[in-house]
Amino acid sequence: MSKNRKEEYREENSTYLAEMALQEGVKQLSGGVLYKVIESGSGTVTPSAGSVVSVHYRGTLINGREFDNSYKRNCPEAFRLNQVIEGWQIALQQMHVGDKWIIYIPAALGYGNRASGPIPGGSILIFEVELLGIA
């Protein structure tokens, strides 16, 4: 991506996030992480940074391009929360088991300006996340 295109891409992502913040039902967490509740679970506890969580998720970019999907693999992922991107840490610590949210993560709380596989640097990450369990 050329330098000008990188700047345009970052601007597109910034504009997208600002527009999403104005959408009905979209709420903001610390660091500018946005979320929208799709389903509310019945769990009563939330994970801490040191918790191991089990989730199903689908990750996309603002253009709708999917970069990861545990549903397609038919296999939920489990990981220690403090070992994933900061945007996930912020959002998942607010979720209860059974919650399903769409999370909009600013680039600074995702991969920043560096690319990661199919994800260009400066990308907002959009995840549909379902919290299945906490250990």
Residues known to be catalytic: 57, 67-68, 85, 111, 127
**Contact partners, residue 96, CB within 8 Å, separation at least 6:** 40, 41, 42, 43, 44, 45, 46, 131
β pairing state of 100-105 and 125-134: antiparallel
Distance between CA atoms of residues 135 and 127, nearest Å: 22
